[in-house]
Amino acid sequence: MATSAPAPSREAPQRERAVIRVRTLVAAALIVLAVVALAFLLSSILSILLVVLVAIVFAEGIRPLMHALQRRRVPAVLAVGIVYLGLLLFLGVMVALLVQPIVSEAQTLAANFPTYRSDFLQFFNNLESQFHFNVDVSKQVGTVLGAAQQVLFTIGGTLFSIVVNFFLVLVLGFLWLLSSERLKRFLVDLVPPDQQALAQDVIREVGFRMGGFVRAMAINSLVVGIATGVACALLRLPSPILLGIFAGLAAAVPVVGAFLGVVPPVLLGFTISPQYPILVAVVLLVVQLIDANTVVPLVMNRVVALPALAVVLALLIGGALAGVIGALLAVPIAAALQVVILRVGVPAVHRAQGREPIVVAAAPPPPRARALHWVPPWLRRP
């Protein structure tokens, strides 16, 4: 008599599915913990990471000078030393030429500060009487001056930290220039052989974007600073050299820097007449418009090649994460990420979808910039 086979038990699959679910939950929990731990670690060493990133961006900015010397058979260490020596000599000459006028203008500005304050109060009191405002102008001005004094104390307290970080950037940049080629070769060796040419091209393009931003920013800041200083001198504003230096430094911040550089000259225009700030604003906005339509397209946009929305978002994120330094680093980092996404990420997504991958090549310079032969060679694409 044949016996019927025992019915298959359903407990084993259920138990197996339960084990799979537990493993999935454990893996997800471990991933979350790892992400939280990584975020905590990065936040605790954020200041160190910022110094390292600044050093890398700075080093990529002066790399073409090093390569120019190496093409003349100068050893790498000596080439970097010559570049550093040249930069330090240039900085020393600029400081020697500007320190006396800056100190003199700062002393004049400090001596005339009570007069400027009374002019501001008189101007706002006239507005109050004319438009019937109910604002205690003296109290508001006192609050602003107190806040400015606190800012000056803070700047003085962090001056030592700034000097230390400056020398750290120089040292780390020196080491990066000497060792980055070996690091790049190591990263390329990790890629499959058929993708190594693409990896080399992407690394080269990322370095060009980051370093090109530094060079373009330096040129743009120099042009804006000189033009603003000359305009302020022609407008008979006090301390035109200081105003030009401030405008040049502010121009290093994309998008918003142009507007920040106009604010101090406009405020000092009140010391001449109540209507004078309008003339100052018009003249300086014309300077900014000329710069935005000549220098920026030639030396900045062709290097960064980021949409305006991406630049603004990068500035907001960088500023929220790391303040002014984060805002300065946001644009070159965003430009580097754009290269990686377009050259690596987009083709990978297309391959995963079964579509023919589109290889995004490095964009050639715009026709207008290519036609101008005076564009510096170290701003051109490699």
Dig out the tokens for 58 from the structure: 């700075």
Instruction: Please tell me the pTM assigned to this model.
Output: 0.64
Task: State the Cα torsion 306-312-315-319 to the nearest 10°.
Answer: -170
Residue of 218, 299, 286, 233 whose CA lies nearest to 258: 286
Dig out the tokens for 46 from the structure: 């954020």
pLDDT at 151 over 60: no
Question: 381 or 88, which is more confident?
Answer: 88
Domain ranges of the chain: 59-111+158-177
Of 21-25, 122-126, 129-133, 212-216, the one with minimum mean pLDDT is 129-133
Residue of 148, 203, 147, 153 whose CA lies nearest to 339: 203
| Length, in residues, of the chain | 382
Yes or no: say if 164 and 51 are a contact pair by the CB < 8 Å rule.
no
* Percent residues over pLDDT 70 in the chain: 70
Q: Please, what sign has the CA dihedral across residues 171, 172, 177, 178?
A: positive
Q: What is the mean pLDDT of residues 177-201?
A: 85
Taking only the tens place, the pLDDT of each residue in 184-195 is 888 888 888 888
pLDDT at 382 over 70: no
Phi/psi of residue 243, nearest 5 degrees = -65, -40
Q: Would you give the distance in Å from CA 82 to the centre of its chain? A: 26
Burial track 333-370 (b if 16+ CB lie within 10 A, e otherwise): bbbbbbbeebbbeebeeeeeeeeeeeeeebeebeeebe
Taking only the tens place, the pLDDT of each residue in 45-79 is 777 888 888 888 888 888 888 888 888 888 888 99
Q: How confident is the model at residue 133 (pLDDT cuts 50, 70, 90)?
A: low
> Considering the chain, what is the average pLDDT of its residues?
76
Taking CB atoms within 8 Å and a gap of at least 24, the contacts of 230-238 are: 231/283, 231/284, 231/287, 232/265, 235/265, 235/269, 235/279, 235/280, 235/283, 236/272, 237/265, 237/268, 237/269, 237/272, 237/280, 238/105, 238/108, 238/109, 238/112, 238/268, 238/271
Residue of 342, 252, 326 whose CA lies nearest to 54: 326
Of 16-20, 266-270, 325-329, 332-336, the one with minimum mean pLDDT is 16-20
Q: What is the mean pLDDT of residues 330-336?
A: 86
Q: Diameter of the chain by CA atoms?
A: 119
pLDDT at 287 over 50: yes
pLDDT at 7 over 80: no
Question: 219 or 27, which is more confident?
Answer: 219
